[in-house]
C-alpha cells in the first residue's frame, strides 16, 4: 500500500473555519504543498490579508505576517527586500487586492518586486457578508447591488490578470480555477511555476484563482462551482497572460522565456554607484 494523498505538513492541524465548499481550503493546500515540495517551509514568509483569510497564518505553517487591508504587496516588499532568498508570498481576495489595494498591487508589479501573489477571486466581499466587489459581474446580485450590478451607476468589473500583464515589471501572470481535478492540477502547476519565477529572481508573479463563495452567492457548493464555470470564466478567461514562454528545467532552474529586463531588484546593488 502506498499513500498517494495525505495531509501536507505545510498546513497546521487547525481545522479551517471556511464555509462548506469554499475554495480557500483547496488553494491553501496547494500553496502549502508547494512550500513543502520545494523545501521552503522553514524559510518562506507569507503575508495574510484582510477578508475571510485574515487568519490564514493559523493554517499555513510557514512564518506569516498579517497585513492591513490591501497593503499585503507593500508589506511583502518590505520583507522580500530584506530576505532576498526566501520565498515571500501574499494571499489576497478580490476586495483586498482590487479595491483598497489597487495601488499596492499595481506598483509591486510595476517595480517587479520578486514576490508571488496568490489572488483569490470570488467576485464578492466574503467576510463582510457579500458586498459588490471590483470583480463582481454585471447583473450579479450582491448586498450592495441588490438589483444586480448596474454599469450605469456601478461601473464594470476589473480583470486583474489582464491589466497587470500590461506592466513591464510583471514576469508571470496566470489565471486558473479549482473546479475539478484537472483544473486543480493545473492550478498547482501554475503556483509551482510562480515559485520558480521567484526562486530564479525573474520578477513579479501572480496566480489568479477563480473561486466560489457559496454562502454569499446563495448557492450550494456544487451549484456554485457550476455558476463559476458558466459565468465567471466568461468574464475571466483561464490562461496565462504573461510569461507563458518562461520555462524551467527539472531542477526548477530558468531555461528560457521573456522576463522583465530589470527584474532583479533582488540582486545586490554591488559596486558603489557614484
Site for another protein in 60-119 (CB under 8 A): 60-68, 71, 74-79, 81-83, 86, 103-104, 106-107, 111
DSSP string, 159-173: -HHHHHHTSTTEEEE
Contact between 18 and another protein per CB under 8 A: yes
- Nearest approach in angstroms of CB 230 to another protein is 15
Least separation in angstroms between residue 219's CB and another protein is: 12
| Of residues 69, 46, 47, the one with CA closest to residue 128 | 69
Alpha helices in 200-232 (DSSP H): 214-217, 221-227
Residue 244 lies near another protein (rule: CB under 8 A): no
**Cα torsion angle, 49, 55, 59, 60, sign:** positive
Quick one: which of 164, 169, 192, 141 has its CA closest to 31? 192
Residue 138 sits in the site that holds another protein (CB under 8 A): no
Q: Vertex 40, ends 44 and 29: CA angle to 5°?
A: 85
What gap in Å lies between CA 169 and CA 133, rounded to an integer?
A: 26
Structural element, H or E, at residue 190: helix 181-199
Residue count, binding to another protein (CB under 8 A): 71
Contact stretch for another protein (CB under 8 A) within 50-58, 140-148, 151-159, 244-252:
50-58
Which residue, 106 or 244, has its beta carbon nearer to another protein? 106
Nearer to another protein, 83 or 141 (CB): 83
We find the least distance from the C-beta atom of residue 8 to another protein, in angstroms, to be: 8
Q: Confirm or reject binding of residue 44 to another protein (CB under 8 A).
A: yes
CB-wise, 82 or 253, nearer to another protein? Answer: 82
Show the binding pattern over residues 148-187: x = contacts another protein (CB under 8 A), - = does not.
--------------------------------xx--xx--
Q: What residues have CB less than 8 Å from 273, skipping those under 6 apart?
A: none
Least Å from the CB of residue 7 to another protein = 5
Point out which span in 23-31, 145-153, 192-200, 240-248 binds another protein (CB under 8 A). 23-31
Distances in Å between the Cα of 89 and the Cα atoms of 92, 131, 199 are 10, 26, 12
Stretches 121-129, 161-169, 200-208, 217-225: which one binds another protein (CB under 8 A)? 217-225
Is 39 near another protein (CB under 8 A)?
no
Bridge-partner residues for 142, per DSSP?
Answer: 145
How far is C-alpha 191 from the chain's CA centre?
A: 9
State the nearest-atom distance from the C-beta of 65 to another protein, in Å: 4
**With respect to another protein, which residue has the nearer C-beta, 195 or 248?**
195
Q: How many CB atoms lie within 10 A of CB 37?
A: 15
Amino acid at each position: 500500500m502506498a499513500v498517494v494523498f495525505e495531509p501536507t505538513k505545510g498546513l497546521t492541524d487547525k481545522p479551517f473555519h471556511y464555509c462548506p465548499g469554499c475554495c480557500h481550503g483547496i488553494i491553501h493546500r496547494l500553496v502549502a504543498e508547494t512550500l513543502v515540495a520545494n523545501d521552503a517551509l522553514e524559510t518562506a514568509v507569507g503575508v495574510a490579508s484582510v477578508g475571510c483569510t485574515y487568519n490564514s497564518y493559523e493554517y499555513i505553517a510557514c512564518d506569516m505576517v498579517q497585513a492591513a487591508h490591501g497593503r499585503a504587496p507593500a508589506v511583502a516588499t518590505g520583507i522580500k527586500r530584506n530576505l532576498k532568498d526566501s520565498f515571500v508570498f501574499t494571499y489576497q481576495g478580490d476586495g483586498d487586492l482590487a479595491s483598497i489595494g489597487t495601488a499596492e498591487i499595481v506598483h509591486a508589479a510595476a517595480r517587479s518586486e520578486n514576490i508571488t501573489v496568490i489572488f483569490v477571486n470570488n467576485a464578492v466581499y466574503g467576510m463582510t457578508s457579500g458586498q459588490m466587489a471590483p470583480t463582481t459581474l454585471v447583473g450579479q446580485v450582491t448586498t450592495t447591488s441588490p438589483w444586480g450590478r448596474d454599469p450605469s451607476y456601478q461601473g464594470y468589473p476589473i480583470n486583474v490578470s489582464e491589466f497587470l500583464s500590461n506592466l513591464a515589471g510583471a514576469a508571470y501572470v496566470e489565471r486558473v480555477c479549482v473546479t475539478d481535478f484537472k483544473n486543480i492540477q493545473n492550478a498547482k502547476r501554475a503556483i509551482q511555476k510562480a515559485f520558480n519565477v521567484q526562486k530564479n529572481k525573474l520578477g513579479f508573479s501572480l496566480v489568479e484563482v477563480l473561486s466560489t463563495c457559496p454562502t454569499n452567492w446563495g448557492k450550494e457548493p456544487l451549484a456554485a462551482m457550476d455558476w463559476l464555470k458558466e459565468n465567471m470564466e466568461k468574464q475571466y478567461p483561464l490562461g496565462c497572460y504573461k510569461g507563458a514562454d518562461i520555462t524551467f528545467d527539472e531542477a526548477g532552474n530558468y531555461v528560457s522565456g521573456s522576463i522583465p529586463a530589470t527584474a532583479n531588484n533582488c540582486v545586490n546593488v554591488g559596486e558603489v554607484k557614484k
